[in-house]
Structure 1
Amino acid sequence: MFLIEWGFWKMATESSASRNAAYAQRSLPDERSDSNVSDVGLDISFKSASEHPHTRGPIYAFNETYFDMRCGGSEEKRGLITLMTLGGVAPTIYAWAQLTHGFLVFNISALPEFNIPIILLNTLALLIGAGLTYLYLRYGFHLTRLELFTSRHLLIRFNRKTQQVHLHRPTYCGGIVTFPWRETGSTSTYQEDDPLSLGTRLGLVWHPSRTGLPHMEMAFIGKQGQGGSELRDEWEFIRRYMEEGPHAVPRPRLSTQLPSPIQAFSAQFEGLGRFFRKSSWLFKVALLFVWPAFVIIGTGHWLSLLLCWRPRWPKVIREAGLPGKPVPPVTTLSDYPPAIQARLLANADRWQLKPGKRPAKKPRKPRRSKAQAKPAAPNEDCV
């Protein structure tokens, strides 16, 4: 499911009219970035973050030049849109096809005589089918393609020879882009953020102040973490590969890019291993009553993989790092169509940085207990 990436790109390319209308309707102030200049510097750090470099994958390719890893911020939810599409659109198409076929057979059987009412009903059925198809293509297909009839996975490629990072996404999620490795920020560098890392993925960030683009790019890679230590281990794996080479990290196990049912059903349990082990026996028993839901969603996930195609990198990225081959150009604003450029520039204020450092948080006052807050009783000796 590419819902997060699609929503983020839609926000970056929102038209001025729709943006102003949305804020006017909700009576909210116009949106601005809440980041300071110093915050961007904190996100870029290539110091060692862990002593145990490790990746939980899935990794699709790994060699001396590059390695490919899965992207996607909501892979565990994949299958819901597929079930809604196949459960809603497919029965409608089937019923319309059966109705139209019946009218056609009845009309043909009456030849050479023509039955005007049947001809009108057949024409009406065709118009209804055409109308439903138009409504679906106009208002529903942009949601369906987040899981169906699109790339099977979002990919990220780390090329050690060219020191570049490539993102492979559909055009409606931002398209294929290239960034320098040294402009890559990570969301899992500091141990103080560990309490917020449970159930999240490693996030990589490319801020406009470093890329020169009018919008920010983000990528959520790998599987959900069971704690900040796992995400730091994954970032350290990437950092050591890019900085030192493949010999500095343990060789990962490669995953298939075929539509594997194992990947479809296991995605629902990403990040839950540690929580499941520490949970009570009552919670484990309760899971037995909801296992049909996991089976249904997993089946939808697998159908989604079956109805998508394997992503393929452009030739210039496939050959990058080979002797005598050109280095892929870094993505710039001119790489986008003129209409997209105008919309990106119109929303550039979302990522503007405030000067200076973020003000320090004021220490919280200790909370007083009810006994302390209760006023003292008057002294009887003073009466």
Structure 2
Amino acid sequence: MYLIEWGLWQTAIEAEALRNEYEKEMTASEINATRDFYELDLEEEMHFRRVSERPCARGPVYAFNETFLEMRCGGSEEKRGLITIMTLVGLGPIIYTGAIVTGGSIYFDFFSPHATSLVNIIVTIVMSALDGAIIYFYLRFGLQFTRLEMLTSRHLIIRFNRKTQQVHLHRPNSCGGIVTFPWRTTGSTGIYPEDDSLSAGMRLGLVWHPSLTGLPHMEMALVGKQGQGGSELRDEWEFIRRYMEEGPHAVPRPRLSTQLPSPIQAFSAQFEGLGRFFRKSSWLFKVVLLMVWPAFVIVGTGHWLSLMLCWRPRWPKVIREAGMPGKAVPPVTTLSDYPPAIQERLLANADRWQLKPGKSPEKKPRKPRTRKPQENRYL
């Protein structure tokens, strides 16, 4: 499911009227919080120093060689299948029933020895109109949500090319499309040990800030599986960093995954990030999980169906050949690569990501509240 990526892209290209309406409902402090970015904070939070002694790729990894490393990314892979189930269960029977009734009416009208009745004609017209209306409204309003996990690229993928020192993101156009950034403009969320307690269930986040890319909007990719703590995110970032900075010999060779619609990937995705939590949980919680296993089967089946109803993503030729002898280096993505209408909207929302000079002010610690001793009313 590409819901997070779709939402981030919609925020970047949000229409002015919708944005103004949304900001009217926000308080002044909420608006300031969304624009509280400082130059020195970005410099401190973006570095390529060693952050772990145990580099590890938790996967899925699709390619690993002397030229490039390719991994899965996506912010809500474990929830994939929900939209597929709702679409197939809600839309499928309606269209199937309508097509059977309409087809049967037409067959009897043309091939039945009896005369065509007015009732058959009315039923045929009504069912055809109803099917047409359902398909129209689905294509008009529902298809954009269905394509978050069906009839689209099977996976969001990210490629790190160490020969060209570039990072490529492969996404559907509805989520921002294919983009290319210099490696040295990449920021990471997996660099601080003190964030361990906040990282359980989170994925490694890679960020490209407009001040470094020259684009008027922020780009972000959530890489790999959910973590069970900040240490795992740091290990994965260290794996990527060493591969790009030192080469494939500096990291352990990862196990490669298939890009085919594997049922193992579909069912295992629901349990990402739960291993440590499950081991430390009480026996009662484990019993509850066993009782709700049909829900995991249903969602896993929907996940698998969504993978089969998608196609394998394919890179443009210039990216596939990048790093080969005598081949061109892919151009870095610029604002001019987007259609004029999208350029206008990106520029209209560029103020969301502007940096303030200096460093963010330190928050004053709250003073503990002291309760006054109450007098004994019975004395």
Q: Which interval holds the TM-score relative to the shorter structure?
A: over 0.9
Q: Does 2:23 align with 1:23?
A: yes
Q: Does 2:227 match 1:228? A: no
1:275 — aligned with what? 277
Partner of 2:157: 155
Match of 2:9 in 1: 9
Q: Distance in 2 between matches of 1:316 and 1:68?
A: 16
Tell me the distance in 2 between the aligned counterparts of 1:111 and 1:206.
71
C-alpha distance 20-366 of structure 1, shift in aligned 2 (>3 A): closer
* Cα distance, 1:106 vs structure 2: 2.7
1:186 to 173, 179, 188: 188
Aligned to 1:99, what secondary structure does the other structure show? helix
Residue number among 109, 112, 132 corresponding to 1:130 in the alignment: 132
SS at match of 1:354: coil
Give the match for residue 345 of structure 1. Answer: 347
Q: Displacement, 1:166?
A: 0.2
Counterpart amino acid of residue 22 in structure 2: A
Letter in structure 2 aligned against 1:45 = H
Deviations 1:193-213 (A, max 9, x none): 111100000000000111110
2:120 pairs with 1:118: yes
CA distance in 2, matches of 1:110, 1:255: 56
State how 1:150-299 maps to structure 2 within 5 Å.
150-299=152-301
Q: Distance in 1 between matches of 2:291 and 2:335?
A: 52
Partner SS state of residue 329, structure 1: coil
Partners of 1:344 and 1:222 in 2: CA distance: 28
Deviations 1:15-53 (A, max 9, x none): 1122223334x3655945221112211221100000110
| Matched residue, 1:63 | 65
Moved over 6 A (4+): none
Percent identity of equivalent pairs: 69
- Looking at structure 1, the residues matched to 180 and 328 of structure 2 have their Cα atoms a distance apart, in angstroms, of 14
Match of 1:359 in 2: 361
Mapped partners of 1:242, 1:193: distance in 2: 24
| Counterparts of 1:23 and 1:111, CA distance in 2 | 67
Q: Give the whole-Å Cα distance in 2 for the aligned partners of 1:339 and 1:129.
A: 34
1:112, distance to aligned residue in structure 2 (A): 8.6
Question: What does 1:83-122 align with in structure 2 at a 5 Å threshold?
Answer: 83-110=85-112, 113-122=115-124
**How far has the Cα of 1:305 moved from its partner?**
0.6
Partner Cα distance (2:16, 2:321) in 1: 40
- Counterpart for residue 325 of structure 1: 327
Output the TM-score relative to the length of structure 1. 0.94
Q: Indicate the larger mover: 353-362 or 338-347.
A: 353-362
Q: Which amino acid aligns with 1:57?
A: G
Aligned residues: 375
Q: Aligned equivalents of 1:137 and 1:10: distance in 2?
A: 19
Of stretches 346-355 and 7-16 in structure 1, the one that deviates more from structure 2 is: 346-355
Cα distance in 2 for partners of 1:305, 1:367 equals 54
1:86-134: CA deviations, max 9, x gaps? 1101111111111212221232245794434422331222111111111
Q: Unpaired segments of 5 or more residues in structure 2? A: none
Matched AA of 2:234:
R
Instruction: Tell me by how many angstroms 1:269 deviates.
Output: 0.4
Kindly provide the amino acid, as one letter, of the partner of residue 264 in structure 1.
A
SS of equivalent to 2:159: strand
Distance in 1, matches of 2:245 and 2:259, equals 27
The residue type paired with residue 296 of structure 2 is F
Q: Please give the TM-score of this superposition, normalised by the length of structure 2.
A: 0.95
CA distance in 2: counterparts of 1:107 and 1:225, whole angstroms: 62
- Alpha-carbon offset, residue 361 of structure 1: 1.2
- Equivalent residue for 1:37? 39
> Structure 2: how far apart are the matches of 1:294 and 1:114?
51
Aligned Cα root-mean-square deviation (Å): 1.7
Residue ranges of structure 1 left out of the alignment (5+ in a row): none
CA distance in 2, matches of 1:342, 1:204: 26
CA distance in 2, matches of 1:257, 1:341: 33
Distance 1:156 1:27, change over 3 A: closer
Q: Quick one: which amino acid aligns to residue 16 of structure 1? A: E
Match of 1:45, SS state, is coil
Aligned to 1:334: 336
Output the CA distance in 1 between the equivalents of 2:263 and 2:122.
47
3-state SS, counterpart of residue 254 of structure 1: coil
